[in-house]
């Protein structure tokens, strides 16, 4: 069934004949999206899931990743077929009041995302060097600005690939230090189960994977390569390779998120320790697995914070440029202003937050509010023949996307309600 769905989303004439060297040229955009769902917010949710419920909630990582593959491929489809990113398409193809409202809320979500990502980097610096969180936030902010303002897209993609590699290798090292019950884990990856008291964590894991800024980001990055949109053969080829890039990148993200739950289950759950803060997890890893394990954990978190802050900054620049129906270009004033709004406002808010962990929770609340606007806007655009031409969604594809949108939105709203009640 999944194969049929993905085939439909990729269109039937996209059957690839992959050449290894040619495929490598297209790897990159998907990995920039991947860092968005291995960010500090995901770390907190996954570690809480593993420490409290063992391997049981691994299935939600599988489900959320499948949903993400379909949504991200669809929004990349928009960028390739139209040459417009999601923000530009909204400005061109929706009433002015609607586009301004949606993009305004998306900028708020971008600020909220940047807040969580900068906080993650700051927390990692505190773990490694005992630097106060506000000072660590400034350091993270400066490093990210330097990387954003001095590198092209392709160089940025290489940096992100390096960051993701460090994160992945760090968790492979961590997993090598613990004993995993792989039989139990394999069953949990494909068997839905909601233990008593786990619904909030289930919703947190799912809500932290599908994020508004990633949908804007993917459509921007994929269309920025400026292919010949007059040639159907070129478009079909790009769609074919984009799907491969998205699929591989999302699987990498699935693996890293799963590794977080596996590590927490094998280390904390088996010893009866419930973890709800990143600093607590790092502090406990040292005595249980040795100093090197806690240091590697903090290093991986630092790279996750830096990488995800970079991508949230790019998303902010893309969204703000979309107000003026322009593509993202770091040399353009509108894009630069969008990046600065996303990062500077987030940094300013961090100085007002007394509890960093509470700040992460608030940021997820804001994302939950905005997410439905972005997903349903995407579906409206990709289901419009006026916008997509011959590459418009098939009816079955639209139905699948609407089903995913309703599920994700419902669970995010439940998460929001539960936070208010708590």
Written as one string, the DSSP assignment of 371-387 is: HHHHHHHHHHHHT-HHH
CA dist., res. 361 & res. 207, Å (int)? 12
- Listing DSSP states for 302-315 in one string gives HHHHHHHHHHHHHH
Residue 80 has pLDDT above 80, yes or no: yes
Residue 54 has pLDDT above 60, yes or no: yes
The more confident residue out of 385 and 45 is 385
Question: CB of 215 within 8 A of CB of 375?
Answer: yes
What's the CA dihedral at 30, 31, 33, 36 to 10 degrees?
Answer: 160
Cα angle 341-35-234, degrees, rounded to a multiple of 5 = 95
Q: Worst-scoring range by mean pLDDT, 102-106, 113-117, 131-135, 225-229?
A: 225-229
- Token readout for 383 is 């289901």
The CB density around residue 135, as the number of other CB atoms within 10 Å, is 13
Give the residue among 92, 7, 69 at the shortest CA–CA distance from 381. 92
- Token readout for 54 is 């063992």
- Token readout for 304 is 């996750």
Instruction: Give the pLDDT of residue 291.
Output: 66
Residue 9 has pLDDT above 50, yes or no: no
DSSP secondary structure code for residue 213 in this structure: H
The CB density around residue 225, as the number of other CB atoms within 10 Å, is 15
Instruction: Give the pLDDT of residue 202.
Output: 81
Give the residue among 338, 287, 356 at the shortest CA–CA distance from 131. 356
Q: Worst-scoring range by mean pLDDT, 24-38, 329-343, 381-395?
A: 24-38
Torsion angles phi and psi, residue 325, rounded to 5: 55, 45
* Structural Rg of the chain based on CA atoms: 20
Question: CB of 75 within 8 A of CB of 218?
Answer: yes
The more confident residue out of 117 and 14 is 117
Report residue 384's pLDDT band, with 50, 70 and 90 as the boundaries: very high
The CATH number for 2-8+18-421, chosen from 3.80.30.20, 3.40.50.150, 3.60.130.10, 1.20.1740.10, is 1.20.1740.10
DSSP secondary structure code for residue 354 in this structure: S
Report residue 410's pLDDT band, with 50, 70 and 90 as the boundaries: confident
Average pLDDT over residues 375-393: 94
Residue 389 has pLDDT above 80, yes or no: yes
Instruction: Give the pLDDT of residue 64.
Output: 87
CA dist., res. 348 & res. 68, Å (int)? 31
Contacts of 220 (CB under 8 A, 6+ apart): 79, 85, 86, 87, 314, 315, 318, 327, 328
Instruction: Give the pLDDT of residue 153.
Output: 59
Highest mean pLDDT among 140-154, 226-240, 284-298: 140-154
pTM of the predicted protein model: 0.83
Average pLDDT over residues 252-270: 89
Overall size of the chain counted in residues: 422
Give the residue among 164, 167, 122, 113 at the shortest CA–CA distance from 141. 122
SS3 for 276? coil
Instruction: Give the pLDDT of residue 279.
Output: 62
The CB density around residue 414, as the number of other CB atoms within 10 Å, is 16
Instruction: Give the pLDDT of residue 11.
Output: 43
Residues 161-193: tens digit of each pLDDT: 788 888 888 888 888 888 899 999 999 999 988
Question: CB of 56 within 8 A of CB of 188?
Answer: yes
Report residue 18's pLDDT band, with 50, 70 and 90 as the boundaries: very low
Distinct helix (H) and strand (E) counts, the chain: 19, 0
Report residue 289's pLDDT band, with 50, 70 and 90 as the boundaries: low
Residue 85 has pLDDT above 70, yes or no: yes
């Amino acid at each position: 069934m999944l194969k049929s769905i993905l085939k439909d989303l990729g269109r039937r004439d996209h059957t690839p004949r992959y050449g290894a060297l040619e495929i490598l040229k297209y790897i990159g955009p998907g990995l920039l999206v991947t860092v968005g769902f291995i960010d500090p917010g995901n770390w907190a949710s996954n570690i809480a899931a593993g420490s409290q419920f063992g391997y049981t909630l691994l299935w939600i990582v599988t489900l959320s990743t499948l949903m993400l593959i379909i949504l991200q491929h669809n929004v990349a489809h928009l960028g390739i077929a139209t040459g417009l990113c999601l923000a530009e398409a909204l400005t061109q193809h929706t009433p002015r009041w609607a586009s301004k409202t949606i993009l305004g809320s998306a900028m708020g979500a971008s600020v909220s995302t940047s807040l969580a990502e900068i906080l993650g980097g700051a927390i990692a610096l505190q773990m490694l060097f005992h630097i106060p969180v506000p000072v660590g936030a400034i350091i993270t902010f400066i490093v990210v600005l330097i990387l954003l303002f001095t590198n092209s897209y392709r160089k940025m993609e290489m940096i992100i690939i390096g960051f993701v590699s460090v994160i992945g290798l760090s968790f492979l090292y961590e997993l090598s230090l613990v004993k995993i019950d792989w039989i139990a884990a394999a069953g949990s990856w494909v068997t839905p189960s909601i233990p008593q008291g786990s619904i909030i964590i289930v919703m947190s894991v799912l809500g932290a994977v599908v994020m508004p800024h990633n949908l804007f980001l993917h459509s921007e990055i994929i269309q920025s390569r400026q292919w010949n949109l007059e040639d159907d053969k070129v478009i079909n080829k790009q769609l074919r390779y984009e799907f491969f890039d998205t699929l591989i990148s999302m699987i990498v993200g699935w693996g890293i998120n799963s590794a977080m739950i596996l590590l927490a289950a094998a280390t904390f759950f088996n010893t009866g320790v419930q973890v709800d803060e990143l600093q607590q997890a790092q502090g406990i890893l040292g005595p249980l697995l040795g100093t090197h394990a806690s240091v590697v954990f903090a290093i991986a978190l630092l790279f996750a914070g830096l990488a995800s802050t970079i991508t949230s900054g790019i998303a902010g620049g893309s969204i703000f440029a979309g107000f003026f129906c322009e593509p993202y270009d770091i040399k353009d004033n509108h894009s630069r202003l969008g990046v600065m709004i996303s990062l500077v406002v987030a940094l300013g808010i961090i100085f007002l937050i007394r509890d960093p962990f509470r700040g992460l929770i608030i940021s997820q609340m804001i994302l939950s509010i905005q997410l439905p606007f972005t997903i349903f806007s995407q579906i409206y655009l990709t289901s419009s023949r006026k916008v997509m031409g011959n590459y418009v969604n098939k009816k079955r594809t639209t139905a699948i996307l609407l089903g995913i949108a309703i599920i994700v939105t419902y669970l995010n709203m439940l998460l929001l309600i539960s936070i208010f009640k708590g």
